[in-house]
Chain A
């Protein structure tokens, strides 16, 4: 055991929240450490937003023990709100205020606020500072929304599906902003249903479905826990018979997907080496080999039996 254990920034135990008959959150437990970017990953309706809103002090839990920055969000919501940054799933901006006016307005709600100019520069909103928020593009709106969450210089930031509905360029730009937050040592809890986003941004991920957490870990851990095999794939060549391929070292299974042959193996170097040798022997030139490791998408499919974005 290390001598000094930093208390987790967020600690949730057996959280439950019901809306009538619907068990939106049904016994969720996890911890988030200081400086960590933690992702709640799951499809719509998995309970991600409900969980995050209870932690933000926006709604009350039915049961469970909560601690956020050492405070109980149900009892010390006021104190907590001073120290956290919140971005809601929908941007929630006054349509007829300018970017500068809105950032300055939000600053006035806190004891300590960062200068508006600094935030405009940091989130690339300088050029639109005098524009009304209703005239912003989707990407600019999301950046403004995150900038508003940063007004009070928070230690902990909640981002609820920050890049949903953005085009790829805007999404990448926002990812850079979120990576910068991690660089500043802030703790981030984000929800997403994009695998790529979770894989790129999150130190650890909790996979949620139907109000429960199915697995928690780093992306590599989650994948490794469920899949020991990688797939080696190449365009199908008639010279290579399935029987020959199945006999290569490490190969557990041979499959065909569309025009591709797929070999499943836990030992990629041995399999690929033998495959190239076999090709040489048979005079099959230029095999276009691709190696793919399973992704969170595959983990999700494995855990729930369905794809994430159904």
Chain B
């Protein structure tokens, strides 16, 4: 083997081993974000006791009115009469938590004496899976009401069924908002704090010693990047897993796009970490610098609260922070959150930070 591949995997394996044998690195990379997820989850998980449901009656028969009566008796739901198109818009805005559509033909299907249908008549129910409490409550209520009607018409095959449809809305549950945020934060820290082992390796002359072997510098850099990406994937699995298990936050968008964003985000912040390593002479300096840099990156970005909540004068700052865009992109893809910027812009901004930091560190990084 020669060139870039020579030593790449053995060195990556060595880096990963060095990483998982370092307890403090393990804590900050895995335990810290997990604690964050759990803490935020329980702090902000007070669930509403009442849900606003849009009622779009396209049938207009007494049977539909009776059905409405059945739903209206459930104390958890407040029904609002609206046309289907308006209802869906209101749900996207966050005014409605779910929408039930009664298609025309219900009256005919349920008429006493009518021949039993070969296929049950379907109600259309829109819920937002990322709004976990609302969607599961509405789904349960609908199932009970529909089940009751089917039982009342016993002796016949089930006449009513439910056609559930997911709808992405802007009103995200707290958990759905902060799980992508914490993932973005964890990726940021993973990258920024990569400055520490790199500076330590230079300070301990490990980089110089490697330079005395036929290993190429490109291989050394590639191996460092791969190491961090491997750790980033583990972080993602753990954070997304905890979010799904404890708070029911599931990925609604494309997992592949989400993975691509994780890789892009990890590399962007890794470049910023290398920038710090280019500037810091000692491991201690790198440590303090990384700690100092992470705070504005974190709190001046919109990852823990929407940018609209920020004071006017702070918004331009947030609008250049890379973490704003990583959080935004992950939220859009993972939980269908409202876009701060189009996904393409998110990717462009992250890519811009990646290239600029990489070029600066390539220029100023000292190997010994």
Q: Is B156's beta carbon under 8 Å from chain A?
A: no
Q: Is A297 an interface residue (CB 8 A)?
A: no
Is there a chain B Cβ closer than 8 Å to A81's Cβ? yes
In the complex, chain A residues 42-81 whose Cβ is within 8 Å of any chain B Cβ: 56-58, 78, 81
> A109 vs B9: C-alpha distance in the bound complex, in angstroms?
11
Known contacts A97-B17, A109-B7, A92 near B213 by CB under 8 Å: no
A58:B212 contact, CB within 8 angstroms: yes
Q: Which of A84-107 contact B (CB under 8 A)?
A: 86, 88, 90, 92-97, 101-102, 104-106
Say which residue of B18, B22, B206, B211 sits within 8 Å of A58 (CB atoms). B211
Q: What residues of chain A lie closer than 8 Å to B214, measured between beta carbons?
A: 78, 81-82, 109-111
Q: Judge whether B11 is part of the interface by a CB distance below 8 angstroms.
A: yes
Per-position contact with B for A102-140: 1 when CB-CB < 8 Å, else 0? Answer: 101110111100000000000000000000100000000
- Is the pair A94, B213 in contact by a Cβ cutoff of 8 Å? no
B interface bracket (residues with beta carbon within 8 Å of A): 20 to 34
What residues of B have a CB within 8 angstroms of the CB of A78 in the complex? 214
Determine whether the beta carbon of B206 is less than 8 Å from that of A92.
Answer: yes
- Residue of B11, B22, B211, B212 near A105 (CB, 8 A) is B11
Enumerate chain B residues within 8 angstroms of A95, measured Cβ to Cβ.
18, 204
Given known A81-B212, A81-B214, A88-B209, contact A109–B18 (CB-CB < 8 A): no
Instruction: Return chain A residues, CB-CB under 8 Å to B212.
Output: 56-58, 81, 86, 88
Does the CB pair B14–A97 fall under 8 Å? yes
1/0 contact string of B1-45 vs chain A (CB within 8 Å): 000001100110010011001100000000000000000000000
| Contact (Cβ within 8 A) A88 B208 | yes
Contact B14 A105 (CB under 8 A): yes
Contacts of A101 in B (CB 8 A): 14, 17
Nearest chain-A residue to B14 (Cβ)?
A105
Which residues of B are found within 8 Å of A96, using beta-carbon distances? 17-18, 21-22
Given A92-B204, A94-B14, are A108 and B7 neighbors across the interface (CB < 8 Å)? yes
CB–CB B208/A105 < 8 A? no
Q: Which residues of A contact B205 (CB under 8 A)?
A: 88, 90, 92
CA distance A56 to B213 in the complex (A): 10
- In angstroms, how far is the closest chain B Cβ from the Cβ of A143? 16
Q: How far apart are the CA atoms of A104 and B11 in the complex, in Å?
A: 10
Q: 1/0 per residue B168-188: CB within 8 Å of A?
A: 000000000000000000000
CA distance A211 to B176 in the complex (A): 66
Interface residue? B167 (CB, 8 A):
no
**Distance in Å: Cβ of B10 to nearest Cβ of chain A:** 4
| Assembly CA distance A57 to B204 (angstroms) | 19
Q: How far is the CB of A104 from chain B (nearest CB, A)?
A: 8
A301 to B214, CA, bound (A): 41
Chain B, residue nearest A104 (CB): B10
By the criterion CB–CB under 8 Å, are B6 and A92 in contact? Answer: no
CA distance A97 to B201 in the complex (A): 13
Question: A182: shortest Cβ distance to chain B, in Å?
Answer: 22
With contacts A86-B209, A109-B215 taken as known, whether A97 is within 8 angstroms of B10 at the C-beta atoms is no
| Nearest Cβ on chain A to B129's Cβ, whole angstroms | 43
Asked whether, in the complex, the Cβ of B209 is within 8 Å of the Cβ of A92, the reply is: yes
In contact, A81 and B213 (Cβ under 8 angstroms)? yes
Give CA–CA (A82, B208) in the complex, Å: 16
Write the nearest CB–CB distance from B13 to chain A, whole angstroms.
Answer: 8
Interface centre among A82, A88, A90, A92 (most CB of B within 10 A): A92
Chain B residue at minimal CB-CB distance from A57 = B212
How far does the alpha carbon of A56 sit from the alpha carbon of B21 in the complex, in Å?
32
**Chain A min CB distance to B365 (Å):** 16
Residue in B closest to A84 when the chains form the complex, CB atoms: B212
Q: Which of B11, B22, B213 has the most CB of A within 10 A?
A: B213
- Chain A residues with CB below 8 A from B18, complex form: 94-97
Among A81, A88, A109, the one with the most B-chain Cβ atoms within 10 Å of its Cβ is: A109
Q: B204 and A90: CB pair below 8 A?
A: yes
Please give, as numbers and ranges, the residues of chain A lying within 8 Å of B7 by CB-CB distance: 105, 108-109
Chain A residues with CB below 8 A from B22, complex form: 96
Closest to B6 in A: A109
- In the assembled complex, the Cα of A90 lies from the Cα of B205 at a distance in Å of 7
Q: Of residues 205 to 234 in B, which have CB atoms within 8 Å of A's CB atoms? A: 205-206, 208-215
Least Cβ–Cβ distance between A149 and chain B, in angstroms: 9
8 tightest A-B contacts by CB?
Answer: A92-B209, A86-B212, A92-B205, A108-B10, A96-B21, A109-B213, A96-B18, A109-B7
- Listed by A's residue number, 18 A-B pairs whose Cβ atoms lie within 8 Å are A58-B208, A58-B211, A78-B214, A81-B212, A86-B209, A88-B205, A90-B204, A92-B204, A92-B206, A94-B14, A102-B14, A105-B7, A105-B11, A108-B10, A108-B11, A109-B6, A109-B7, A110-B214
B residues neighboring A (CB under 8 Å): 6-7, 10-11, 14, 17-18, 21-22, 201, 204-206, 208-215, 368
13 extra A-B contacts, CB within 8 A, seeds A90-B204, A108-B7: A58-B211, A88-B208, A92-B204, A92-B205, A93-B204, A94-B18, A94-B206, A95-B18, A96-B22, A105-B7, A108-B11, A109-B7, A109-B213
